[in-house]
């Protein structure tokens, strides 16, 4: 038999590879691709996104409301402090004017006791009148405590004496120095003498 008439010999390894299904299987897809394509993971990511954005928006809104409230409080506090500083400055000037009025009143009182007419006294009187008119326009009031009950908010007791006839204990019987008030607040308390109940006699 010649070489050409010999039957062809097949390789066992090639034949087994052709007929074994396990050897011809394709490689498994990556795990990440499988997970990414799963509907459950996609839904979870969709739910977490809007919820997180809503929470962040609420936090920003809360911070904005807090900042707005602090700003409003600061504005009110600054306005109140500015108003108090302005009022204190005005009252200091008014107290200086009141002290000058005290001196002018004493000068007029001394002039009234002198029988000789002083030409300058009329000018002083007009000056005092104009100063009092200005203070009145600024809301300054002269306290008139004579005959009224002693009030520590507007009066300063200099002395206590036995109550004169017809007066009750606790009443103001004499004004030593005029007092002034502005807007319900004491600008300068009136210095007064207060009556007290004499020993052995009820008020």
Percentage of residues in the chain with pLDDT exceeding 90? 47
Report residue 149 as tokens: 């009950």
Mean pLDDT on 120-127:
88
pLDDT for residue 50: 67
Cβ 168 vs Cβ 141: under 8 Å: no
Q: How confident is the model at residue 47 (pLDDT cuts 50, 70, 90)?
A: very low
pTM of the entire structure?
A: 0.60
Lowest mean pLDDT among 4-8, 92-96, 128-132, 160-164: 4-8
Taking CA atoms, 98 is separated from 13, 64, 103, 136, 152, in Å, by: 126, 51, 9, 12, 21
Alpha helices in the chain (DSSP H): 12-19, 31-37, 39-112, 119-137
Mean pLDDT on 156-161:
93
Mean pLDDT on 122-129:
91
Q: How confident is the model at residue 112 (pLDDT cuts 50, 70, 90)?
A: confident
């Amino acid at each position: 038999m010649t070489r050409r008439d010999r039957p062809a010999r097949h390789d066992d390894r090639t034949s087994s590879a052709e007929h074994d299904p396990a050897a011809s299987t394709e490689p498994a897809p990556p795990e990440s691709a499988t997970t990414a394509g799963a509907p459950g993971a996609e839904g979870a990511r969709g739910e977490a996104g809007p919820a997180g954005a809503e929470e962040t928006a609420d936090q920003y809104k809360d911070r904005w409301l807090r900042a707005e409230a602090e700003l409003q409080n600061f504005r009110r506090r600054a306005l109140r402090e500015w108003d108090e500083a302005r009022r204190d400055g005005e009252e200091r000037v008014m107290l200086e004017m009141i002290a000058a009025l005290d001196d002018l009143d004493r000068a007029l009182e001394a002039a009234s006791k002198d029988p000789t007419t002083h030409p300058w006294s009329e000018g002083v009187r007009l000056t005092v009148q104009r100063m009092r008119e200005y203070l009145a326009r600024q809301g300054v009031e002269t306290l008139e405590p004579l005959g009224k009950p002693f009030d520590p908010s507007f009066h300063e007791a200099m002395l206590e004496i036995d109550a004169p006839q017809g007066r009750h204990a606790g009443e103001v019987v004499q004004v030593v120095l005029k007092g002034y008030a502005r807007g319900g607040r004491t600008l300068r308390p009136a210095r007064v003498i207060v009556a007290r109940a004499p020993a052995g006699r009820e008020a």
